[in-house]
């Protein structure tokens, strides 16, 4: 797979990332091509396992995953046996950091809150991961309402599905390789896709409108339907992004993880 050419350096400056030239300017992390576009779209929650300071771990067991968009949202797991494992450099994800979840140990990490727009029932969710085995009816990521709004795997013959709508998307088996999934929630115009494939359209289920729920990775506490997933990044917007903006986020993720 061909590599991207070097890009101009961008540095953290005054609460925002900005391009820098030459050797001057403020110091800070260099951005991936397209990362500034995602920052400018202002995610409501952005969990990036590779982001400096995002992971709190002890002996490789992760107790906290802190968001990077500036709101310091914390996905937590206090029970040691349920904590996912941290990998600082995972070759399957272009040597980026990941969290690994074991469904047999009921491992998950989350917070009892949601970050899509609850009043208008709209939002856009991006997720980069791979599955470690063929768990049956496993919840990979949740974004609201008692685990009824989530991306799952192996429901029937589908590669991935959106519950509670049970709409399948992607190609069976592809979830065992690193993938990029997006779910856009916007009433009758909702859709899901995997690796920029054909959209699976659906009308958002009424359960997605409830003003309670959780945001979680690896499963949902108490559901017993956890997944053995390896997670790298989870981005949530409280708006239904248009096609141009969806493409911006997908471009950033492809650049960062060297394609899908």
Number of domains in the chain: 1
Q: What is the mean pLDDT of residues 55-64?
A: 98
Q: What does the pLDDT read at residue 136?
A: 65
Q: Give the pair of three-digit tokens for residue 164.
A: 């509670």
150-199: per-residue pLDDT in tens? 898 877 677 899 988 889 999 888 888 999 999 999 989 999 999 999 99
In a domain, 165, yes or no: yes
* Residue 124's CATH number: 2.60.120.200
> Which range is least confidently modeled, 13-17, 82-86, 110-114, 252-256?
13-17
In a domain, 10, yes or no: no
Integer Cα distance of 244 and 40 in angstroms: 13
Q: What is the mean pLDDT of residues 194-223?
A: 82
Total residue count of the chain as it appears in this document? 260
What range defines the domain where residue 53 resides? 32-257
In a domain, 13, yes or no: no
Q: 11 pairs with which residues across the strands?
A: 18
Integer Cα distance of 76 and 102 in angstroms: 16
Q: Please, which residues have CB within 8 angstroms of residue 162's CB and are 6 or more apart in sequence?
A: 149, 150, 151, 152, 169, 183, 192, 200, 202
Instruction: State yes or no: pLDDT of 209 exceeds 90.
Output: no
Q: What does the pLDDT read at residue 114?
A: 78
Instruction: State yes or no: pLDDT of 248 exceeds 50.
Output: yes
In a domain, 140, yes or no: yes
Q: What does the pLDDT read at residue 112?
A: 83
Instruction: State yes or no: pLDDT of 113 exceeds 60.
Output: yes
Show the beta-strand stretches assigned E in the chain. 10-13, 16-19, 45-48, 55-58, 61-66, 74-76, 85-90, 96-100, 109-111, 122-131, 138-144, 149-153, 160-163, 167-169, 179-186, 190-194, 200-202, 215-217, 229-237
Q: What is the mean pLDDT of residues 194-207?
A: 90
In a domain, 134, yes or no: yes
Q: What is the mean pLDDT of residues 88-103?
A: 96
> Which range is least confidently modeled, 34-43, 222-231, 248-257?
222-231
In a domain, 156, yes or no: yes
215-228: per-residue pLDDT in tens? 899 987 766 788 89
In a domain, 244, yes or no: yes
Q: What is the mean pLDDT of residues 6-19?
A: 34
Confidence of residue 38 (pLDDT cuts 50, 70, 90): very high
In a domain, 18, yes or no: no
Closest by alpha carbon to 148, among 185, 93, 97, 177? 185
Q: What does the pLDDT read at residue 173?
A: 84
Q: What does the pLDDT read at residue 258?
A: 93
Composition of the chain by helix, strand, coil, percent to 5: 15, 40, 45
Q: What percent of the chain has pLDDT over 70?
A: 80
């Amino acid at each position: 797979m061909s590599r991207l050419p070097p890009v101009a350096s961008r540095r953290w400056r005054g609460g925002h990332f900005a391009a820098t030239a030459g050797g001057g300017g403020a110091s800070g992390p260099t951005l991936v091509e397209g990362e500034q576009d995602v920052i400018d779209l202002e995610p409501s929650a952005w969990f990036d396992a590779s982001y400096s300071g995002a992971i709190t771990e002890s002996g490789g067991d992760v107790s906290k995953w802190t968001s990077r968009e500036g709101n310091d949202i914390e996905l937590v797991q206090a029970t040691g046996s349920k904590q996912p494992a941290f990998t600082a450099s995972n070759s399957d994800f272009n040597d980026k950091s990941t969290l690994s979840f074991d469904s047999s140990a009921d491992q998950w990490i989350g917070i009892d809150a949601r970050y899509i727009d609850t009043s208008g029932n709209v939002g856009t969710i991006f997720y980069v991961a791979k599955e470690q085995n063929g768990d049956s009816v496993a919840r990979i990521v949740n974004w609201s309402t008692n685990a009824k709004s989530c991306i799952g795997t192996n429901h029937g013959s589908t590669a991935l599905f959106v519950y509670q709508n049970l709409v399948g998307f992607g190609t069976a088996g592809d979830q065992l390789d690193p993938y990029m999934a997006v779910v856009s929630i916007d009433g009758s115009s909702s859709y899901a896709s995997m690796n920029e494939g054909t959209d699976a359209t659906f009308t958002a289920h009424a359960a997605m409108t409830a003003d309670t729920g959780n945001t979680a990775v690896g499963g949902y506490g108490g559901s017993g339907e956890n997944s053995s997933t390896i997670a790298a990044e989870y981005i949530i917007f409280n708006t239904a992004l248009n096609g141009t903006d969806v493409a911006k986020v997908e471009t950033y993720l492809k650049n960062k993880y060297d394609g899908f």
